[in-house]
Structure 1
Amino acid sequence: MTEKTEIESLYRTYRTYGLSIAYRMLGTFTDAEDIIQDLFAELAVKNRADVQNMKAYIAKSVTNRCLNLLHSAKKKREEYIGEWLPEPVAGTAELPELAAEQKDTLSYAYLLMLERLGPVERAVFLLREVFEYDYEQIADMTRKTEANCRKIFSRAKQQLKGSEIPSTPIAQGQRKAMVERFANAFLHYNPETLLSLLTEDAVLISDGGGAARAAIRPIVSRERLLRLFTSPNAYRDLRTWSVHVAEINGEINLVYTSEAEVKSVLCFQFSESGDQVQHLYMIKNPQKLKHIQTYLG
């Protein structure tokens, strides 16, 4: 096997695994792709005979690159205009490492939950909870002691307490029907249907990043959302765009397009009972829609 053929084989084998870690660590697919490209460029000139476990090496390298990027991006996050939301991905086609029972760890609500953790806590939590590494391996990957990793994981679990994703997943058919009902009620200014679909404490969070018109702060309560969703002056752009039901982050959500250009993605998180919408996440920042555009375009 030639050098080039070997690297191509490693890339085909481990690219999606590395992406699975990097995307959850960063919440941005474009940055995750850059990290994977850099990793394999370095691997091409590395003495690979020293690598005893390639999968663990990939996980360690991706984790450390992500930690470095998260630390350097902290100021950018603080200066970000409005609310910062993760970059959505279309379906799970790019991340087939996921087994069906792990699909919820790609959901938009799960990514938002991870935002409550610091970089190292996020790394330890993901490596243990999602990728099922033991503490000895995690210690090596994060350059921490095994005892420290156990404490970090415990602290992360405590921080996430109360923000867990509903334990009973909604069937895709039921979710699709509810998302379509919302889209139709919003389009036709139907307050009765919207009232039945939204929880009393429903929240809308929008991300325009200063590049698209979006609310700077979260909009809280069913009453306020009803006024907005039924106002002819609010969200007029969404009503002029075509709306599509699509699998985003492994779940049925909405994509808005204009002349084949993706303009917005609207992701839903349902209540524990599964019959009402608890959170809505509207992504309008064009920089965060590039992957959706490429995949759907």
Structure 2
Amino acid sequence: MNGNELLAKHFEEHRSHLRAVAYRMLGSLSEADDAVQVTWLKAAGADTGGVANLAGWLTTVVSRVCLDMLRSRESRREDFLDEHGAGPGARLRTDPEEEALLADSVGLALLVVLDKLSPTERIAFVLHDLFAVAFADIAPILDRTPETTQRIASRARQRVRGNSGSASDDRMRRYRAVEAFLRAAQNGEFEALLALLDPDVTYRPDEAARLLGAGTDLDGGRVLAEAFCGKAQPARAILLDGEPAMVLAPHGTLMLVMTFRFAGERITEINAVADDDRLSRIEFTLP
């Protein structure tokens, strides 16, 4: 077996790890596969004979590739949100069911929150907190000192988990109520939905949400229960600006947010937001 064949063999042994790293950094399976392919091309063109830790070296390379992709995404955000903008067939190279399963295994809520981080925050957080890479090894990727890299990861961690540390009892009750609403909607449990909704509850989608198919204005508990019963399959509960909400984020790409207001234990108001400008200003955390 020659040197190239041996490198290819070792690369295949590490492919699943590199793909997992890239997916958490990019939130897109097709982009993760692109990053892994670029990593292979860089590895094939490099002198790896003196590399003692090939797995660590490849992780560094794929991280740098992902960092470049994230920075490029920042300048063309609309292309990422519009999956068709990547070119004909670009997203068809991956199995939608496989990506959905992978997103569920990672946690769509986490992918949505990670998408709000800056490229350097995302790289530092993913490598350190999710893959236990030392700050000294992350620092050269970000072109920062280990101390600065640690501060970047800490800032990202606060944004992911929320600055308050733990939610208040009232907020957690509201969060559990939103979870219960989502579960009842997904399972088609009409009576459970009705019990969670105030008789005078209202539903108001913005214009962008209407265009996405989120419906029109609705009034009344029974009307809303009928509209939501058996729906909301891809949605997830999350904290939005510290309050419980639901997000529609297929494959980790944020499309729509639903906010909730309560009177006591019942939901009195639901608003659906899909406007890009409004979504970009929203701060998400995990409970």
Q: TM-score by structure 1 length?
A: 0.57
> Aligned partners of 1:179 and 1:229: how far apart in 2?
11
Q: Is residue 279 of structure 1 aligned with residue 246 of structure 2?
A: yes
Q: Does the aligned pair in 2 maintain the 1:109–1:165 contact within 8 Å?
A: no
Once the two structures are TM-superposed, the CA of residue 138 in structure 1 deviates from its matched residue by 1.3
> Aligned partners of 1:122 and 1:21: how far apart in 2?
11
Q: Which has the higher contact order (CA 8 A, sep 6+)?
A: 1
Q: Does the aligned pair in 2 maintain the 1:204–1:280 contact within 8 Å?
A: no
Q: Is residue 89 of structure 1 aligned with residue 99 of structure 2?
A: yes
Name the SS of the counterpart of 1:51 in structure 2: coil
Question: 1:283 corresponds to which letter in structure 2?
Answer: P
Question: 1:124 corresponds to which letter in structure 2?
Answer: A
Q: Which runs of 5+ in 1 are unaligned?
A: 96-102, 167-176, 240-252, 255-265, 272-276, 289-297
> Aligned partners of 1:226 and 1:30: how far apart in 2?
42
> Aligned partners of 1:204 and 1:60: how far apart in 2?
46
Q: CA offsets per residue over residues 230-287 of structure 1, 9 Å max, x none? A: 34xx99xx98xxxxxxxxxxxxx95xxxxxxxxxxx143379xxxxx952425399xx
Q: Does the aligned pair in 2 maintain the 1:64–1:141 contact within 8 Å?
A: yes
Question: 1:193 corresponds to which letter in structure 2?
Answer: A
Question: Which residue of structure 1 aligns with residue 43 of structure 2?
Answer: 43
Q: 1:282 to 1:109 in 2, by over 3 A?
A: closer
Q: 1:72 to 1:270 in 2, by over 3 A?
A: closer
Q: Does the aligned pair in 2 maintain the 1:59–1:141 contact within 8 Å?
A: no
Q: 1:180 to 1:230 in 2, by over 3 A?
A: same
> Aligned partners of 1:20 and 1:61: how far apart in 2?
14
Aligned pairs (5 A) from 1:203-282: 214=212, 230-231=226-227, 254=233, 266-269=234-237, 278-281=245-248
Question: Which residue of structure 2 aligns with residue 246 of structure 1?
Answer: none
> Aligned partners of 2:220 and 2:148: how far apart in 1?
45
Q: Does the aligned pair in 2 maintain the 1:19–1:33 contact within 8 Å?
A: yes
What number of residue pairs does the alignment pair up?
217
> Aligned partners of 2:184 and 2:156: how far apart in 1?
37
Q: 1:282 to 1:47 in 2, by over 3 A?
A: closer
Computed over aligned residues only, the root mean square deviation of the Cα atoms, in angstroms, reads 4.7
Q: Does the aligned pair in 1 maintain the 2:28–2:251 contact within 8 Å?
A: no
> Aligned partners of 2:61 and 2:48: how far apart in 1?
13
Q: Does the aligned pair in 2 maintain the 1:22–1:35 contact within 8 Å?
A: yes
Q: Is residue 183 of structure 1 aligned with residue 186 of structure 2?
A: yes
Once the two structures are TM-superposed, the CA of residue 81 in structure 1 deviates from its matched residue by 6.4
Aligned pairs (5 A) from 1:103-252: 106-162=106-162, 181-185=184-188, 190=190, 192-196=191-195, 214=212, 230-231=226-227
Identical counterparts, % of pairs: 23
Question: Which residue of structure 1 aligns with residue 5 of structure 2?
Answer: 5
Question: 1:44 corresponds to which letter in structure 2?
Answer: A
> Aligned partners of 1:63 and 1:49: how far apart in 2?
21
Q: TM-score by structure 2 length?
A: 0.59
> Aligned partners of 1:21 and 1:204: how far apart in 2?
39
> Aligned partners of 2:33 and 2:15: how far apart in 1?
9
Q: Does the aligned pair in 2 maintain the 1:139–1:149 contact within 8 Å?
A: yes
> Aligned partners of 2:166 and 2:100: how far apart in 1?
20
> Aligned partners of 2:181 and 2:5: how far apart in 1?
48
> Aligned partners of 1:204 and 1:4: how far apart in 2?
59
Q: Which runs of 5+ in 2 are unaligned?
A: 83-95, 168-179, 256-287
Q: Does the aligned pair in 1 maintain the 2:73–2:80 contact within 8 Å?
A: no
Name the SS of the counterpart of 1:183 in structure 2: helix
